[in-house]
Structure 1
Amino acid sequence: MVLELHVWGPSFGLPSIDAQCLATIAYMRQVIPRGQWFLVASSDPTLSPTNELPALRNTQNGDWIGGYRNILNFITQYSSGKWDMDASLRGQEGADCTAYSAFIQVHGQPLLDLSLYVSSHNYSEITRPIFNTIQSFPLPYLTPPHLRTEAKKRTEYLGLSSLDIDTEDGDKSREPSIIPESLRRGKQTVSSLLAASPETNAQIRLDALATDFFESIQELRGKKKYLVSNSYMSSVDCLALGFMSLMLYPNLPQPWLAKTMRKKFPDLVEWVEELKNEVLGGAVNVDDAMLTKSANANAVQQKKMHLPWQAPESRGILNVGGVFLANLADSMPIVGQRRKDNRMRRYSGEETGKDTGSQLWRYVATVGGLVAAVGLVTGYALHQGLMQLPEKLARKEG
């Protein structure tokens, strides 16, 4: 049997833009022999029964398993414990692994949400453009806003919504003026410095959140080689690597998270860098993940790579249109929640008693995918100037 791990595509020199995808990659890289699994940067959560990535596909029977924890449980069960990284943990080590795994997910995810998605500067200048490189047109127009909306919901309780500003308002200061810049520039005051950006205004709170997180991880590690053991890695090391890599490596306009880590926790920085090189290897780009070189070059490329990349399947315009429609439906408040509930019921094996509704949605999705595909082709042709609207053509002839 060969397993396929589907993840969000690479960014920042890392194999994925998602922390839990990185954690799953690190885990499988450590426990499953090469040749028995492949890594696919599909960047398509609709493949997963839970509509999330990472997602694991059993190529033997076509079954899908969605989500980090579900994948780890499946790997352990399938291998009869042979591929269980935590099997050697005893007593306090096992308890710490469980507790801190939950801690990293609960407290690490909001930090990444704030840094990569809620912060307007970081999102608009760095995060959003990445999806143009890892997803097919027109999915990058829908996926980043959807992920950002979810990130805002997850961080709403922190009261840091000021990080989300209309960046266009800030462009007013760049408008041309007949007054020389030297005369327009006023003296900097404490108030003006604090108001320089939402991140600056919230710096104290952001620094406190980041410091609390890193301090807890540093205390857990102490002088050990790994977080809960001095002898071997565990799943909590994989999680920490996934989350802290995305805190450390991105080169962002507002790098408050990386700054806090580098300034206050240099030992953690060194630990992440060493573990990343050991487990994930060197820098990864989109060409590596997509295997975009020639067939002969691909064979050489795969042998040299640290990770077992496999090129994602080429999806036709109809399939892309169907995915676009599904993503659009998931982004709608009522429809999206109902679809999510139905997915979870099917995944848990519950009988919904609504097979007719499911069949109806599949029919609507198929027809909608076809309509969306036609619309995408037409829109692309218009955008590229391959086709003109009748009004334009008539005006041109007139």
Structure 2
Amino acid sequence: MLELHVWGPAFGLPSIDAHCLAAIAYLQQAVPRGKWQLIASSDPSLSPSKSLPALRNGDIWIGGFRNIFHYVAQFSAGEWILDAGLPEQESADCIAFSSLVESHGQPLLDLSLYVSSQNYTTTTRPLYNTIQPIPLPYLTPPSLRAAAKIRTSHLGLSSLDIDTDAQDTTEPSIIPASLRRPKNTVSSLLAKSPETSAQIRLTALATDFFEPLQHLRGKKAFFVSDTQFSSLDCLALGYLALMLVPDLPQPWLSRTMKEKFPSLCTWTEELRETVFGKEKVTLEDAFLVSSNDTELDARLKRLRGRSHLPWKPPYNRGALDVGGVFLSSLAESIPVVGPLSKSTRMKPHGKGKEDEVQGTSSWRYLGLVGSVITGLGMGIGYMLHHGIISIPGEASEMERERQRPSDLGHLGEALGFYGNHTDVMAQRQRAMESEPHGKPVVEVEVGSGMIRSTETVS
């Protein structure tokens, strides 16, 4: 039984990720029902490529939509291939436009769901709290957003992220506030008239993506064929659904699609119902459980399948396992440790089952220990850097430096002189009391620093 692991549902769609939606569509159309199961694990650490979707076949894990596409063809000996039988020209178009969808569609989704601060904070980030166990949502959305910013940095639209445009109030400015030019934010950019440069740029990017797809499809039922569903249709459905369906505070992407390309909207809605089902996908569908369900209800749902898709509930992972994933994710954010941690998870398919399991367990244990040590080191370093804790030797030396009277200016010098004079008088008194009468006591002043010593003359 094949298992397809994906990011959990969102916006009424089976997944919050375009590639996961594409993989679901492919298996739904190519693989017979009963031969595969859909699991909303929302855990990319399961995949050797550290990404979802991931296909599991026993001890074999395949990560990424393209790799899943090729593995299914190989596993079925060429039987489960959607593109089989396409003419040469249509097959070439399928490959070329699949590349276009990924290269141009991903930046648009990045800008809409992750880079835009208003869409991210109010809609995207809270969704991960519903599909991932605590504490993973503290790391996953910021990590995905950081990757989205990197992928879209060449577009020059970082102003959509108001966090990077927030002015530091602690820095003084020689320019009066009345003369400063305000920085553009997502609210100001998208609330202005369509003539603003940012709105024109966003619309142009969306148009450059939608226009060739609409031209390719024309009046056909699918993109490259009028009768055959292809891998391009799966990929396009995944991206177009996430562009059209989500109800966002700043809906510039869906608005452009609805106003300029209504035929693509119709195609997306119709194919969405055909592939994913007419009913909106909910968390209860994916996890096969709701707050009002008894244990018997949950078992019946697992047996008969309530949804149009072959859902299977995710594995019940313990707190230790979730904590290990959290620490591993934390370690992978470190420049040196991250790539090393990822490379240890890559395993060749030719190894035996026993060696593979032992190797995976060993590396997982070492990764967990290393993550704990790294986390402690980073925490201690942070506290040392910010003065929350200090080294005992250095602290005592600093205290001595702080207690020097000279640091108090003229008052400190006066207090120091008074203290030295008091010490000299006390020393003189002790010398006179310790000697018998008749022996004079002589004070000797040495140098210009007013250093006095008391001696007894025999």
Between 1 and 2, higher relative CO (CA 8 Å, sep ≥ 6) is seen in: 1
Tell me which interval the TM-score lies in, with the shorter structure as reference length: 0.7 to 0.9
CA deviation string 1:62-109 (max 9, x = no partner): 211111000010000010110000002111110000001111011100
Equivalent-residue separation in structure 2 for 1:194 and 1:141 (angstroms):
25
Correspondence 1:19-98 to 2 at 5 A: 19-59=18-58, 62-98=59-95
Aligned residues: 344
Name 2:400's counterpart in structure 1.
none
Contact 1:325-1:368 within 8 A present in 2 as well: no
User: What's the secondary structure of 2:62's corresponding residue?
Assistant: strand
Letter in 2 for 1:274: E
Distance 1:155 1:168 in 2: 16
Structure 2 counterparts to residues 61-210 of structure 1, below 5 A: 62-166=59-163, 196-200=187-191, 202-210=198-206
Instruction: Work out the CA distance in 1 between the residues paired with 2:371 and 2:332.
Output: 14
Decide whether aligned partners of structure 1 residues 49 and 192 sit closer, same or farther in structure 2, where only a CA change above 3 A counts: closer
Output the CA distance in 2 between the equivalents of 1:326 and 1:193. 37
Q: Shift of residue 368 of structure 1?
A: 6.0
Q: 1:331 aligns with which of 324, 330, 333?
A: 333
Q: In terms of Rg, which structure is larger?
A: 2
Which residue of the partner structure matches residue 375 of structure 1? none
* Secondary structure at 2:222 match in 1: coil
| Deviation for aligned residue 1:199 | 4.0
Aligned to 1:386: none
Report the AA paired with residue 264 of structure 1: K
CA contact (8 A) 2:285 2:311 kept: yes
User: Do 2:165 and 2:185's aligned partners in 1 also have CA atoms closer than 8 Å?
Assistant: no
Q: SS of 1:166's equivalent?
A: helix
Distance in 1 (alpha carbons) for counterparts of 2:315 and 2:27: 21
Structure 1 stretch displaced more, 18-27 or 334-343: 334-343
Q: Deviations over 1:314-340 (max 9, x none)?
A: 110110010001111122223223334
Cα distance, 1:99–1:15 mapped onto 2, change above 3 Å: same
Aligned with 2:317 (options 297, 315, 324):
315
Aligned partners of 1:361, 1:145: CA distance in 2, in Å? Answer: 26
CA distance in 2, matches of 1:369, 1:194: 37
RMSD, aligned CA: 2.8
Answer whether contact 2:331 2:371 (CA < 8 A) is retained.
Answer: no
7-16 or 85-94, larger mean C-alpha shift: 85-94
Pairing 1:225–2:221 present:
yes
Whether the 8 Å contact between 1:8 and 1:43 is mirrored in structure 2 is: yes
Instruction: Give the drift of 1:197.
Output: 2.2
User: One-letter code of the match for 1:89?
Assistant: L
Q: Secondary structure at the match of 1:197?
A: helix
Task: Check conservation: 1:163, 1:199, Cα contact below 8 A.
Answer: no
SS class of match (2:163): coil
How far is 1:193 from its partner? 10
Deviations 1:114-171 (A, max 9, x none): 000000000000000000000000000000000000111111111111111129969x
- 1:363 Cα deviation after fit: 3.4
2:364 is equivalent to residue 362 of structure 1: yes
For the 8 Å contact 2:159–2:184, the answer to whether it is kept is no
Alignment partners' CA distance in 2, 1:49 and 1:66: 7
Structure 2 CA distance, aligned partners of 1:71 and 1:332?
A: 29
Is the partner of 2:37 in helix, strand or coil? strand
**How far, CA to CA, are the matches of 2:305 and 2:183 in structure 1?**
55
Percent identity among equivalent residues?
Answer: 57
Q: Secondary structure at the match of 1:10?
A: coil
Deviations 1:197-238 (A, max 9, x none): 244562111100001100011011011000000001000000
Tell me: CA distance 1:370–1:150, structure 2 relative to 1, closer, same or farther (3 Å): closer
What's the offset of the Cα at 1:33? 1.2
Residue identity matched to 2:255:
K
State the Cα distance separating 1:364 from its structure 2 match: 3.4
Secondary structure at the residue paired with 1:65? strand
Q: 1:289 to 1:368 in 2, by over 3 A?
A: farther
Confirm or deny that 1:288 pairs with 2:290.
Answer: no
Hey, what does 1:242 align to over in structure 2? 238
Specify the SS of the correspondent of 1:338: helix
Mapped to 2, the partners of 1:6 and 1:99 lie a distance apart of 27
Asked if the contact 1:50–1:347 (Cα under 8 Å) also holds between the matched residues in 2, the reply is: no
The residue type paired with residue 207 of structure 2 is T
Partner of 1:10: 9
SS at match of 1:283: coil
C-alpha separation between the residues in 2 aligned to 1:194 and 1:288?
38
Counterparts of 1:348 and 1:208, CA distance in 2: 45
Q: TM-score, normalised by structure 2?
A: 0.70
